[in-house]
Amino acid sequence: MRGLSFDHGASYVSAKPSDPKWKASPFARALRAAEKAGVAARWRGDVGVADADAATSRGDDVVMDEGSFEAFPPEKELFVGVPTMAALPLFIAETLARATKPEASHLGDNAAVGAPEYATNAFVQTLTEPQYPGGRWNLTARIRDGGHVWYKSIDADIVIVATSAPAAAILMPWRGLGSVDDVEVDDETFTGIVQGAAHGVEANACWTLCVAFEKSLDAPFDGVMMRERPEGGYGKIAWFCNNSSKPGRKGGGGGGGGWAYAADDDAGGGSGDDGDDDDDAAATEPECWVVQGSPTFCQNVPAGAASPRVADELLDAFLTLLGKDADRRASIEVTHKKAVKWKHAYPANPTGRVYFDPETGVAACGDWTFGGRTSDAYDSGVAVGKEISTYLELSREL
């Protein structure tokens, strides 16, 4: 049985190359720290953008024009988590917790009363605002770790809601009048303002195909972002990449969280001696690909569509994109395929600001505030952190 690994969320992360100071940005520093710790590596594959072949493409049946491929500029450094993308946010969360308080312990490790705690796999069930002046926020967290699930009540002076826009809209306590759908909130209430702003952000859904092939596709590139066609649209595929070409992916990965997942493949292989021959191991290791549907394709998938059906359609579009005709497809053996739907893949209209109210002690940030890139979400956290830090410093001086 062989392990398969798919980064079916973010395929890679990078700091903004358009910013002349990006190498000194907080996110760039975090990536380099992760690289130094061995949980991130630079993906040096042939990755870039390409056009559809106008001569052979018909409607949504798009064929890639290989000659139009342009590699990403060298200043756009692509980083991936090792062994999966899930390792990167986990490292950042643990680093932040320990940097803030070196004695911080994992939530549930029976920390001393008053000692800081952190959790990297927790889900907030409820968020309750202070019930009296000078009171504290209370949240109920569902924590999952090592196959166990438990609940913990946590009190806090300041709460930062760093989630997707829909989750922020649900979590924010609301005392306004009218329908949230119509954004008729009480604009005298800060939490109502944030809830209304979050609810107004449109989220684009994305269907992602995770597929493994018994033999290499011999594709000319490791990752391609399709350019929009002159007549509009991208066909059915917006992005695809060879997950096996990333560092640390040989032999599969651990998966975890919402960034990556691992699967078992029992096709082929046999039970012979594993040995230490890298060439033999590479020859029998399936090639894993991640394929993301275009906005138009994903919007047109009927609600409630079965995952296997979407997987078949994306696989057909992917092989067409690579120019695999019927004769070539006959020799292609698929050992694993699965389609995953991201309901809130990226925000279409981010608000452009973060939120913090010293009076209520609540803050909000995330990709829905600054933009859909991972670096945007990270930058929003840095921005709201600076606002809170400034407030706390001023409070100490009073």
The three-state DSSP-derived secondary structure of 187-213 is: CCCHHHHHHHHHHCCCEEEEEEEEEEE
Residue 94 in tokens: 């643990």
Which residue, 331, 82, 333, 69, is CA-closest to 221? Answer: 69
Residue 376 in tokens: 């945007």
What is the pLDDT, as a whole number, of residue 191? 86
What is the pLDDT, as a whole number, of residue 267? 42
What is the pLDDT, as a whole number, of residue 289? 97
How far apart are alpha carbons 333 and 284 in whole angstroms?
Answer: 13
What is the pLDDT, as a whole number, of residue 265? 58
What is the pLDDT, as a whole number, of residue 131? 86
How far apart are alpha carbons 85 and 91 in whole angstroms?
Answer: 10
What is the pLDDT, as a whole number, of residue 16? 74
List the CATH code of the domain at 2-6+43-77+203-347.
3.90.660
Which residue, 281, 194, 266, 249, is CA-closest to 2? Answer: 266
Answer for the pair 208, 215: CB distance below 8 angstroms, yes or no: no
Q: What share of the chain is helix, strand, coil (3-state, %, to 5)?
A: 25, 30, 45
Place of tokens 């859909």: 372
pLDDT tens digits in sequence order for the chain, 398 residues long = 467 889 999 999 998 766 666 667 889 999 999 999 999 999 999 999 999 988 777 777 889 999 999 999 988 999 999 999 989 988 988 887 777 666 666 665 555 666 677 776 788 888 998 888 888 999 998 988 778 888 888 899 999 999 999 999 998 876 544 444 444 544 568 888 899 899 999 988 999 999 999 999 999 999 999 998 877 777 899 999 999 999 998 644 333 445 566 666 544 333 233 333 344 444 568 999 999 999 999 999 998 999 999 999 999 999 999 999 888 888 899 999 999 999 988 899 999 999 999 988 999 999 999 998 999 999 999 999 999 999 999 988 76
What is the pLDDT, as a whole number, of residue 39? 96
How far apart are alpha carbons 292 and 341 in whole angstroms?
Answer: 10
Please provide residue 88's backbone torsions phi and psi, each rounded to the nearest 5 degrees: -70, -55
- Fold match, 2-6+43-77+203-347 / 159-199+353-398: no
Across the chain, which distance is largest between two alpha carbons, in Å?
A: 77
Answer for the pair 140, 152: CB distance below 8 angstroms, yes or no: yes
Which residue, 198, 93, 109, 205, is CA-closest to 148? Answer: 109
Q: Which fold has domain 159-199+353-398?
A: FAD/NAD(P)-binding domain (3.50.50)
Please provide residue 132's backbone torsions phi and psi, each rounded to the nearest 5 degrees: -155, 160
What is the pLDDT, as a whole number, of residue 109? 58
Domain chopping of the chain, boundaries: 2-6+43-77+203-347, 121-157, 159-199+353-398
> How many secondary structure helices (H) and strands (E) does the chain include?
10, 19
Strand, coil or helix: 312: helix
Strand, coil or helix: 109: coil
Q: Would residue 276 be called left, alpha or beta, if left means φ above 0 and alpha means ψ between -120 and 50 degrees?
A: alpha
Write the single-letter amino acid at 160: I
Which residue stretches of 274-373 are H helix? 278-284, 295-300, 307-321, 326-329, 367-370
CA 92 from chain center: how many Å? 14
Half-sphere exposure of 210 (CA within 13 A, CB side): 24
End-to-end CA distance of the chain: 65
What is the pLDDT, as a whole number, of residue 218? 93
What is the pLDDT, as a whole number, of residue 177? 42
What is the pLDDT, as a whole number, of residue 172? 85
Answer for the pair 83, 257: CB distance below 8 angstroms, yes or no: no
Q: What's the pTM value of the predicted model, to 2 decimals?
A: 0.84
How far apart are alpha carbons 144 and 208 in whole angstroms?
Answer: 25
What is the pLDDT, as a whole number, of residue 51? 94
H or E segment and range at residue 20:
none
Which residue, 310, 308, 107, 121, is CA-closest to 205? Answer: 310
- Residue 130's CB is within 10 A of a number of other CB atoms, namely 16
